[in-house]
Amino acid sequence: MLIILCIALLLTAGQCMDDQSFVTKNVPLGEDVTLTCSRRSNLSGLLFWIRVVAGNLPEVLGATYTFDHGTVNKTPRITTKQGTGTFVLHIIQTQLNDTAFYYCKEVIELKTTQWNITFLRVKGPEPDIPIVIQELPSAPIYPGDSVTLRCSVLSDPQKNTCPEDVYWFRAGMNETYPSVIYVHRSSGDECERQSDVHSPRKCVYNFSKNKISSSDSGNYYCAVATCGHIIFGNGAKLNIEDNIWSFVDSQVVNTVVFLLCAALAISLMVIALLSYIIKNKTYNCSNAAAAVETHSTMTTGNHQHQQVIEEPLVYSVPNFTKKKV
């Protein structure tokens, strides 16, 4: 069964598990704890309980079939067995090294489904733990943009010598539990060099996503697992704003802008041509009116002059009457 699990994990490495859920469970040191996983498939397959401790390889705690079966896996403190429609993991007298992530995986036809993830924290004496600061995006985010979330971890290198694993979780708008979307194994390259060995060490872990869509909206959390503890950041709420241009291909947008510029240029040319034609018509009409007025004035003057010339040509004949004496 371990060989089948290894092959399935290789085939599904890097895939996103949409059906997973994440819960955190805190228990006092020495207390018993029980984790339950539902058997959701009627097909023939296998169920596994796997434990992942920061800095270590995954550990298979128990396996059983997806159908009713009496398989029991038992160690001195850990037992896995089937219940009614469930696969149960029972740990007695928890120890500090039981603090880890516990995965319930189902393998059917070499396809792995991760049903739930539980972070079990065994609470003992509180050691010095790092401080996690999660930075929020400052600029508005639109569909198609790229976004980078930052998680800064401040710790004392003299007291905190455990390896750090950073987990990124996402809780969508309609999701009850956050889901694991990325795991970052610390290599030391993310940490700033210190001039003073007594000053706090700062390590920055980034999570980037390209061409986001409205479905990526939600709350994003980073969590640092170290020294048997997990410390959550304050979370970053990612709101994807609607943008009408984001739904149009960039080539189409460029074509539309080019056509609008061409139409504007043609409109300006037409306006300039019409202005020139109207100006010329106004000038011609003014010249015609002036010519008509000049002709009218000349005609009137000639008529008056003719009258003046004709007036002396009017003669009167005297009439003489003879008187009687």
pLDDT, tens only, 127-170: 566 778 888 777 778 888 888 888 888 887 666 667 778 888 88
Does residue 51 contact residue 106 with C-beta atoms inside 8 Å?
Answer: no
| Residue recorded with tokens 């319930």 | 104
- pTM, rounded to two decimals: 0.43
Closest to 175 in 3D by CA, of 18, 13, 15: 18
- What does DSSP say about strands 22-28 and 111-123: parallel, antiparallel, or unpaired? parallel
Residue 151, token pair as written in the block = 């998680």
| Residue recorded with tokens 């498939």 | 41
User: Hey, what amino acid is at 284?
Assistant: N
φ and ψ of 185, to 5 deg: -90, 125
Distances (CA, A) of 274 to 14, 281, 286: 66, 11, 18
Contacts of 208 (CB under 8 A, 6+ apart): 146, 147, 148, 149
d(CA 74, CA 82): 12
- What does DSSP say about strands 100-108 and 86-91: parallel, antiparallel, or unpaired? unpaired
Concatenated DSSP letters of 132-185: EEEEPP-S-B-TT--EEEEEEEEE-TTT--S--EEEEEEEETT-SS-EEEEEEE
Reported as type and span, the H/E element at residue 145 is: none
Does residue 121 contact residue 25 with C-beta atoms inside 8 Å?
Answer: yes
Per-residue pLDDT, 43: 76
d(CA 131, CA 79): 35
CA angle 128–134–138, rounded 5-degree value: 160
Per-residue pLDDT, 308: 47
* Below-50 pLDDT ranges, the chain: 1-19, 244, 246-248, 308-309, 325
d(CA 237, CA 172): 10
Contacts of 72 (CB under 8 A, 6+ apart): 79, 80, 81
Helix (H, G, I), strand (E, B) or coil at 212: coil
